[in-house]
Amino acid sequence: MEDKELKDLKEKVLEANLELYKSNLVFFTFGNVSGVNRERRLIAIKPSGVDYSNLNLENMVLVSLDGSLITQGFNPSSDTKTHLVLYNSFSEIGGVAHTHSRFATIMAQSHTPISCLGTTHADYFYGEIPCTDIISDKSIISDYEHETGILIKNTFSKKNIDYKQMKACLVASHGPFTWGKDPSEAVFTSEVLEEIAIQNFYTRLLNPEIKSMKNTLIDKHYLRKHGKNAYYGQ
């Protein structure tokens, strides 16, 4: 008999996957969400190749943080190794989401970071949303999904970005990964990311020379909501 803690984790991950599905960020089975229990050192994640309409508590898959499969019967999402690298690298996140949402993917296909062009962006993401380099042939051939996670991790460390203030990364030629304190926030971040990507895309299209918004305004908007002395929306 399974314990309550794992059931809770699976429930949160199931709900977050269904929320992702309702959000119109995914079409067909393009997307997955996971959640972690750090004390138990395991994650729950969407099974591979199962339609959203057939998701339930029984087919959520448990995998340990070192990659061993815990539950039987269903394979975890093929992107599981990417999720695992993110949990192991970003020690305080509780949920990860991956989509091919339209405009975040278009920006990723353009190898274009999402520069901060307005307060809508700064309300949620502290500065430019990074885009990785194109993954190397060596990484593709050796352990592709694991290396995709490493690519994200290295992008953050090279650019000195704080994953707590920047909960999204575009993987070049691929699409976005997002995260948050739990699976639900990871999905929420995917939804906000898509709207921000749309606004960024069209602003650039009209005005290709547009520069990032000035830092005082980025600071004001991000920090009034997320800083130590936050007062916005509280």
Residues with catalytic annotation? 123, 232
Between 119 and 157, CB nearer to a second copy: 119
| Inter-residue contact 152 to 233 (CB < 8 Å) | no
The one-letter amino acid at 161: I
Instruction: Read off the tokens for 113.
Output: 């970071």
Pick from 199, 223, 226, 227 the residue near a second copy by CB under 8 A: 199
Min CB(65)–a second copy separation in Å:
21
Pick from 5, 22, 27, 158 the residue near a second copy by CB under 8 A: 27
Min CB(134)–a second copy separation in Å:
7
* Sequence-separated (6 or more) residues with CB below 8 Å from residue 167: 93, 125, 178, 179, 180, 185, 186, 189
| Inter-residue contact 151 to 135 (CB < 8 Å) | yes
Total Cβ atoms within 10 A of residue 47: 20
Min CB(40)–a second copy separation in Å:
27
- Residue list 142-171, contact with a second copy (CB under 8 A): 144
Helix, strand, coil shares of the chain as percentages rounded to 5? 45, 15, 40
Pick from 6, 37, 48, 88 the residue near a second copy by CB under 8 A: 48
Between 29 and 88, CB nearer to a second copy: 29
Instruction: Read off the tokens for 204.
Output: 């650039």
Q: Which residues bind a second copy (CB under 8 A)?
A: 27-30, 48-49, 75, 78, 100, 102-103, 105-112, 117-120, 123, 134-135, 137, 140-141, 144, 173-175, 191-192, 195, 198-199, 201-207, 210, 213-214, 216-217, 220, 224, 231-234
